[in-house]
Amino acid sequence: MAEIFFNSTPESELKSPFQKILAYLKLRIRRFLLAIILLELLIAALITRPPIASTRPPNISPQQPKPISGDCHSGLIYVYDLPPLFNSDLFNDCHLLDPWRSVCDSFLNNGLGRKAHELAGVVPQNLAPMWYWTDHYMGEVVYHHRMLNYKCRTLDPEKATAFYIPFYVGLAVGKYLWGNHTAKERDWHCEMMFKWVQNHPWWKRSNGSDHFLMVGRLTWDFRRLTDSDEEWGSSFLVMPEMKNVIRLSVERNLWDSLELAVPYPTIFHPRSKSDVSEWQSFVRGRNRTNLFTLVAATRKKITNDFRGLLLNQCLNATSDKCLFIDCAKSHCVEGTSVILEAFMGSEFCLQPKGDGFTRRSVFDCMIAGSIPVFFWKQTAYEQYEWFMPDDPGSYSVYIDRNEVRKGKSIKEVLESYSRERVEKMREKVIEWIPRFLYGEGDGGIDGLSDAFEIAINGMLKKYKNHIRRRENENGSD
């Protein structure tokens, strides 16, 4: 059969109708195969061509790094100039990235989003310009902009200690997580990115062990184990090419030693140490009229929904004890001052699981000076090692969720804390606020190390330990 289709036969020798049909089919197949080859060549050319400056969105253009300062003891970082396909082209498709709403405004101001003018009068007047409606999944854009302006960035890869891959994997994959998209569609950008980066000598030299990237979504969105279209997410983090790559993520897998959890971007982005100090004084002096607040949407389709139990406890408490903000009736991601005011007016804030174990609300709560109440240790204690105090009891309350299911009263637990203890815990929360923040400026918060700098310094230390461990393993072989 192969001979019939792929061996050429002069048209003059075709005698029967059957032979003519076979010849026609052969021609069509050859043209189809040629088109496939040309398409593959075109894709290869697109992902390996140098990026064109004009295709980049405003404010994410490559810049000359600042003069390297003397405090880059942990090393220098080289930023790959990826083809726009893997980051900036996503700006052009911003209205397609979320099936329920447009996220185009979220890309404004280097990923901080649009200005939160609605907060005027809620926050101190001179701090009002530093509040933005930042999308909690925009970390990839925020980190990319900051890396381009990082004080320890180098343009010489020979001098680099580590290599940053500015791949917006959460945004690229996120648009395919819902609807009738295939597993192959969810992996396509990831596979193309690896084809590009593997052509570079810096990757080949270490097989990616001195490379890192930022993943703006939960780790569980990238751990699909089969090729089934029915299984959730992408297989990005379990692809062989990711075996040695360090990744920063808003929620990490506790059993993955190369994954590091960093704070979700919040909506406050100060410029200087004095801005932070003013905000700390402001929330320290707030009059908190509610014992605790719950900001969440219940999930009625889930059997024994834990959020529903929390809501019942909130509703059963008197009105001055619990305040409930129903996210099912209003969009809790952006566009309202109600959430910030609720947290600033409450002693404690309940923090059930989000889409994963973590949620951005933890940081929104603490920035407002409210004391978080956790029901899963993975929501914070086992995640943000560089960003939270070592002693969980110094800044938070933990109530075992199973005890709540058995009827334990959250109100009674919280009322058992003395005024002195509450104030001491709040002071610890306020003291640690700078570590949760991403500064507004290109260099972060003037005079303070913000969440970005803490994350990068921690990553470099993790990288050195990673390399040392690999060297020891290779030496023992």
Q: What is the pLDDT along the chain (477 residues), one digit of tens a residue?
A: 443 333 444 444 445 655 656 665 665 665 665 555 445 545 544 444 433 333 344 445 455 556 565 688 889 999 999 999 999 998 888 888 888 888 899 999 999 999 999 999 999 999 999 999 999 999 999 999 999 999 999 999 999 999 999 999 999 999 899 888 999 999 999 999 999 999 999 999 999 999 999 999 999 999 999 999 999 999 999 999 999 999 999 999 999 999 999 999 999 999 999 999 999 999 999 999 999 999 988 777 677 789 989 999 998 887 679 999 888 766 676 557 999 999 999 999 999 998 899 999 999 999 999 999 999 999 999 999 999 999 999 999 999 999 999 999 999 999 999 999 999 999 999 999 999 999 998 999 999 999 999 999 999 987 777 666 666 666 655
Helices marked H in 345-418 — which ranges? 361-367, 401-405, 410-415
The pLDDT of residue 287: 95
Task: Say if CB 397 and CB 372 are below 8 A apart.
Answer: yes
Find, among 139, 131, 141, 36, the residue nearest to 88 by Cα.
Answer: 141
The pLDDT of residue 17: 58
The pLDDT of residue 302: 73
The pLDDT of residue 43: 52
What does R_g of the chain's alpha carbons equal in angstroms? 26
The pLDDT of residue 3: 39
Q: Tokens standing for 89? A: 């082209």
What backbone phi and psi angles, to 5 degrees, belong to 458? -65, -40
Beta strands in 94-133 (DSSP E): none
The pLDDT of residue 453: 96
Taking the model in full, what pTM does it have?
0.85
Q: Tokens standing for 322? A: 């619990």
Q: Distance of CA 294 to CAs 352, 375, 397, 403, 416, Å?
A: 9, 13, 14, 18, 19
The pLDDT of residue 53: 32
How many degrees, rounded to 5, is the angle at CA 458 between CA 452 and CA 461? 145
The pLDDT of residue 14: 46
The pLDDT of residue 317: 84
